[in-house]
């Protein structure tokens, strides 16, 4: 199809003259990692909290948690991102909103992306945590209560230590997803891996080299995550349960 391959493009000086295109790709790679990891921390904390709340006997608390999960899980990620980035600053008082919008654009883009990815993924983490808690035999909770533990104590000392270990394998796939979903953030101009790849295409008209490099970078990230998580899963697996021996 008349394509001119040129792998040397990565080493040629970039259009702005201060770096090579490889440097651009690496900057995007670092941005993807930073964004995904911070969003993942947010997702784990919120997800664990909401997941636990979904299983408590208190109807109001469980209802709020359910609403949270349904809201963040059922609105498309892209729509959520646009709401965080474009809509929310308009709802702030004018002076605060304007000051925020005049701040450094990368900070705004990163913040919106992190919150968006973090909350979206937290809803999915919450579902996994809830499933983990519900998969425990009823007897465990009853035994804890019968021993004189309060409900929070039963969660803290009996159920959660088990449940969290059980949900590690499904959480691995959410962890992988967050890296892949982070590519959506290129749509608001955040220069992460996918966006840098696209920029490279725009500037050099070498789409195949660029997309191959981007693909391999995502593969590298995900293979690394999978290997590490696999080791972790083996260490914490509960004997007699899924994944345990």
Partner 1 sequence: MKRFAITAALATVLGASAVLPAQAQESLTLKKIKDTGAITLGHRESSIPFSYYDDKQQVIGYSHELMLKVVDDIKANLKLAKLDIKLMPVTSANRITLIQNGTVDIECGSTTNNLERQKQVGFTTTIFVIGTKLMAKKDAGIKDFADLAGKNVVTTAGTTSERLIRKMNEDKQMKMNVISAKDHGEAFLTLETGRAVAFMMDDALLYGEIAKAKKPGDWLVTGTAQSKEAYGCMLKKDDPEFKKLVDASLTKAMTSGDAEKIYAKWFMNPIPPKGLNLNMVLSDEMKAAYKAPNDKAFE
CB of 2 to partner 1, least distance (A): 5
CB of 118 to partner 1, least distance (A): 22
CB of 195 to partner 1, least distance (A): 8
DSSP state of 241: S
List beta partners, residue 13. Answer: 20
**Does 187 engage in binding with partner 1 (CB under 8 A)?**
yes
Q: In this chain, which of 59, 104, 138, 245 binds partner 1, going by CB under 8 A?
A: 104
CB of 146 to partner 1, least distance (A): 59
**Does 7 engage in binding with partner 1 (CB under 8 A)?**
no
CB of 199 to partner 1, least distance (A): 7
Q: Rule CB under 8 A: which of 111-150 touch partner 1?
A: none
CA distances from 80 to 14, 85, 134 (A): 33, 9, 29
Task: Give the whole-angstrom CA distance, residue 202 versus residue 242.
Answer: 48
CB of 40 to partner 1, least distance (A): 25
Chain centroid to Cα 107, Å, comes to: 18
Please write down the long-range contacts of 215-224, taking CB distance under 8 Å and 24 or more positions apart.
217/25, 217/29, 217/32, 217/193, 218/179, 218/180, 218/193, 221/32, 221/33, 221/179, 222/176, 222/179, 222/180
**Does 108 engage in binding with partner 1 (CB under 8 A)?**
yes
Q: In this chain, which of 79, 106, 223, 242 binds partner 1, going by CB under 8 A?
A: 106
Residue 194 is inside which H or E element, if any? helix 193-204
CB atoms near residue 28 (< 10 Å): 25
Measured from the CB atom, the residue of 60 and 95 that comes closer to partner 1 is 95
CB atoms near residue 72 (< 10 Å): 22
- The pattern of x and - marking residues 194 through 233 that bind partner 1 according to CB under 8 A reads -x--xx-xxxxxxx--------------------------
Residue 183: closest CA among 28, 45, 47:
28
Residues in the chain: 245
Cβ atoms 228, 175 nearer than 8 A: no
**Does 2 engage in binding with partner 1 (CB under 8 A)?**
yes
List beta partners, residue 20. Answer: 13
**Does 191 engage in binding with partner 1 (CB under 8 A)?**
yes
**Does 23 engage in binding with partner 1 (CB under 8 A)?**
no
**Does 89 engage in binding with partner 1 (CB under 8 A)?**
yes
Q: Which residues bind partner 1 (CB under 8 A)?
A: 1-4, 15-18, 86, 89-90, 97-98, 101-102, 104-106, 108, 186-189, 191, 195, 198-199, 201-207
């Amino acid at each position: 199809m008349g394509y001119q391959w040129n792998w040397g493009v990565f080493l040629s000086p970039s259009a702005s003259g201060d770096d090579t295109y490889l440097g651009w790709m690496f900057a995007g790679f670092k941005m993807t990692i930073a964004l995904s990891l911070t969003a993942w921390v947010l997702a784990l904390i919120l997800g664990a909290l909401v997941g636990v709340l979904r299983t408590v006997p208190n109807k109001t608390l469980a209802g709020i948690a359910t609403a949270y999960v349904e809201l963040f899980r059922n609105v498309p990620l892209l729509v959520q991102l646009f709401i965080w980035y474009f809509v929310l600053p308009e709802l702030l008082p004018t002076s605060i909103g304007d000051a925020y919008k005049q701040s450094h654009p990368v900070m705004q883009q990163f913040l919106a992306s992190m919150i968006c990815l973090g909350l979206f993924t937290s809803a999915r983490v919450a579902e996994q945590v809830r499933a983990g808690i519900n998969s425990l035999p009823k007897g465990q909770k009853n035994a804890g209560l019968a021993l004189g533990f309060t409900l929070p104590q039963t969660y803290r000392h009996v159920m959660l230590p088990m449940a969290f270990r059980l949900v590690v394998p499904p959480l691995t796939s959410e962890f992988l997803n967050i890296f892949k979903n982070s590519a959506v953030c290129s749509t608001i101009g955040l220069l992460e891996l996918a966006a840098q790849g696209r920029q490279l295409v725009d500037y050099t008209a070498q789409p195949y080299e660029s997309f191959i490099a981007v693909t391999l970078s995502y593969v590298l990230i995900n293979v690394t995550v999978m290997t590490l998580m696999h080791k972790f899963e083996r260490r914490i697996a509960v004997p007699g349960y899924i994944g345990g021996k």
